Structure 1
Amino acid sequence: MKLLFQQQTIQLDSQSTTEEVIENINNLLEKDYYFSHFIADGVEIYEGHEQFLNSHTGQIEKLEIITKTVKEFTNDILLSVESYTEQATLLLETLSNEFYNSPSGETWGQFAQLMESLQWINGVIELLRNQEEKVKNWSQYEEIAGTIQQELLNLEEAVENEDFVLIGDIIQYEIAPNFESLHEASKTTIDTEGTRPNLN
């Protein structure tokens, strides 16, 4: 199997294991690149990379590695953040109202999704924090991250105490405004340093 990345080609043994292929991919990618996807014999594979390699070991002739620069990767993630926070702001109002009344099973399901999204946002901010070259409005993200961390702790405590009114308050008065701030921060970064997909 030929492993191709930019101008480099590595010839791998046809008996190479999935682990060896992944190790070679990681060695090719320097700190300036993030893995996006690969093209196996002309077929683009965007997810389930490991499973794909496992089930096609020994059959792939050419594996082309597609990457993004740190800047492109950051831009894509911030486009996701901008879109997600815009949609979520409306849902948060409904969710907080449900806690003020009487949370149903569905409410708790949406609350679990909110907790997951807060963890995802923390991950995104951590990624921005670890970049050598910070985005220009980095201090905005840093401030939002600090507040979200605190509110996660407050939410956990409110859930333990079964204080539904407090959960509703935290969602409405703390989380929702932070989502709005994050929406504005990501919008600012994209518009001043990034790019938007061409809609024409």
Structure 2
Amino acid sequence: MSIENQKIELLRTVKEYINNLRKGITKSAEYFQSGEDEKGFNMVTSIAEGINWIADAIESTRDIVNKNIFLDNLNDKLNQIVEAMENRDTVLIGDLFQYELLPIIDDMDKAVSRCLLN
């Protein structure tokens, strides 16, 4: 299998994983917003690992994704989430997950989909 085909397969895996990540982020946001903070915090490590894996995969396929996916905004939102976690502001964490992080994940999903269609 050529390197390019391996990268395309990786992007297919990213696409599938994004769907699972989206569900996890949504569920965690719901936990934080409904006061079930412990359940929300229990999901944060998996979410962070998933985001990190996706970011690494996107970086390693940068030549195929044609720089359509920008991670700067993601890093900014993650820093905001870390700050909210340090302040134990669970409502803000839920809001950041739902209204800031999910749209970035959706944009990544669209960009990966466009790459796979080409």
TM-score between both structures, scaled by the size of structure 2? 0.88
Q: Report deviation, 1:139.
A: 3.1
Match of 1:119 in 2: 52
Q: Note the C-alpha offset of 1:81.
A: 1.0
**How big is the shift at 1:71?**
0.5
- Which residue of structure 1 lines up, in the alignment, with residue 114 of structure 2? 188
Percentage of matched positions with identical amino acids: 22
Query: Unaligned stretches of 5+ in structure 1?
Result: 1-67, 193-200
Match for 2:19 among 72, 76, 86?
A: 86
Q: CA deviation at 1:154?
A: 1.0
More strand by share: 1
**Equivalent residue, structure 1, for 2:31:** 98
Q: Does 1:169 align with 2:95?
A: yes
* Other-structure match for 2:66: 138
Deviations 1:143-176 (A, max 9, x none): 2x11111111111111101111111111001111
Provide runs of 4+ in structure 1 moved above 4 Å: none
Q: How many residues align?
A: 118
CA distance in 1, matches of 2:92, 2:78: 13
Amino acid at match of 1:148: L
The structure with more radius of gyration: 1
Greater RCO, 1 or 2 (C-alpha within 8 Å, sep 6+):
2
More helix by share: 2
CA contact (8 A) 1:86 1:180 kept: no
Q: Letter of the aligned partner of 1:118 in structure 2?
A: I
C-alpha deviations, 1:103-129, integer Å up to 9, x for none?
Answer: 343322211110111111221122134
CA distance in 2, matches of 1:91, 1:121: 14
Summarize the Cα distance change of 1:167–1:104 in structure 2 as closer, same or farther, 3 Å threshold: closer
Matched with 1:38 is none
Normalised to the residue count of structure 1, the TM-score between the two structures is 0.54
Instruction: Give structure 2 stretches of 5+ with no counterpart.
Output: none
